[in-house]
Amino acid sequence: MSPPTGSLYLVPNALDLGTEGVATSLNEVLPLGVLRTAARLEHWIAENAKSTRAFLKRVEAVVPLAKSLQAISIVELPRPLKGGGGRPSTSNGAALLAPATSGADVGLLSEAGLPAVADPGASVVQTAHGLGIPVVALPGASSVLLALAASGLNGQSFAFVGYLPIDGAARSARIRELEAHSRRASQTQLMIETPYRNGALLAALLDCLQAGTRISVSCGLTLPSGFTRSDTVAAWRQRPVSLPSDVPAVFSLLAG
């Protein structure tokens, strides 16, 4: 008989990464059951070990950890391969999941939101399936889905396209390409940007898109200061806003 296999738990994180001083208690944004699961896990795979320890300290403020923080194993995901579309290599996925194949449960944590959704980790999940390790996705906020729900744009057909090019000409071309596809398919296009470039992305969208296309910006989701504004490009141009350069935002567009 094969030895028992542990499970891979996809543990959601809060959405307040990088917004020091305004973070709320985790029990305000994550279900208690999720925190109880996180508190008992002794093995973690994460984007960043330091921020994972910070997450576990926040968990401990609500639910005592099964082991001391120093005794908990945290291994970091490998860096994405160049040209790999932002996904880490699967070459050491089995090594990362070794505790699970030995019978221990393992947590997968991203910096914010749901692991493997607009975040690294999908390759680990894929490897887990290949090894016969049960995968359990725990409920929690996803900035992409919250932004889509708050936008009032088409929630029946949508695509997350990640980051746009930094180069101005390439970014403009990509924006027009996304608008054309949105018009043909009646599909909402969602994107993100590094917070300090929030303003630059909004300016590029307003410069490149047609007046009747709708833009939605969700900034600081789940934070007390969070907001969503959804309007036509023409209305955004008439009533411009300054976006914060230190708070994450999700941008959406839908061409008419």
Per DSSP, the residues of 94-149 read: HHHTHHHHTT--EEEE-SSBSTTSSSS-HHHHHHHHHTT--EEEPP---HHHHHHH
Cβ atoms within 10 A of the Cβ of 59, count? 23
pLDDT at 86 over 50: no
Average pLDDT, the chain: 91
Q: Is 113 helix (H, G, I), strand (E, B) or coil?
A: strand
Per-residue model confidence as pLDDT tens digits over 109-154: 999 999 998 888 999 999 999 999 999 999 998 999 999 999 999 9
Please give the Cα distance from 204 to 231 (Å, whole number).
16
pLDDT confidence tier of residue 95, bands split at 50, 70 and 90: very high
Calculate mean pLDDT across residues 38-55. 96
Residue-range domains of the chain with CATH: 8-137 (3.40.1010.10), 143-254 (3.30.950.10)
Contacts of 2 (CB under 8 A, 6+ apart): none
pLDDT at 100 over 70: yes
pLDDT at 71 over 70: yes
Calculate mean pLDDT across residues 215-239. 95
